[in-house]
A = this chain, B = another copy of it.
C-alpha cells in the first residue's frame, strides 16, 4: 500500500437510470463498443438520443458497419476531469441494428449529423437492455 494512498478523496456513486438518460440527452459524442474477430473495440461517434435508444450514423464501407447489424454492443459516454480526478460515466448495453428510413425521428434536426466529412447514410440504433452510470464524487 502506497503511503499517499490516503490522498484519495473521491467515492463512486451509482447514477439513477433517469439521470443517466438526462446525461445521454445532452451529450453529443460517445463511444460505440463492439466486437470484431480480434476482440472488443470502442470508437467515438457523435450521436443523438431517440427516446431511450442511441442513434448514430456510419459509413457502409466501414468494418464497424458490418459488425453492428443485430449485434450485442454497448454505448459509453463520460465526462472526466483529469485535474480534479472526478467525473461521471454512463453505459448503455443493448443490441445494435440498422434503422429503416421510416423509423427515423420525423424531425430532421433531431437526427445525428456526423462531424466528419464523408458518406455516412447508414443509421444505427442501440436499443438498450440496461442503462447504468457512476459518478466519482470528491467528498
Complex contact A8–B85 (CB within 8 A): no
The range of chain A's interface size is: 35 or more
Residues of A near any B CB (own CB < 8 A): 1-2, 4-5, 8-12, 27-29, 31, 33-35, 38-44, 46, 71-74, 76, 78, 80, 82, 85-87, 89, 91, 93, 108, 111, 113-118, 121, 130, 136
Query: Mind listing 24 A-B residue pairs with CB under 8 Å?
Result: A2-B113, A5-B113, A8-B115, A8-B116, A8-B117, A10-B116, A11-B117, A12-B116, A31-B76, A33-B33, A35-B35, A35-B39, A38-B130, A39-B93, A40-B72, A41-B76, A41-B93, A42-B42, A42-B76, A43-B76, A44-B80, A44-B87, A85-B115, A86-B115
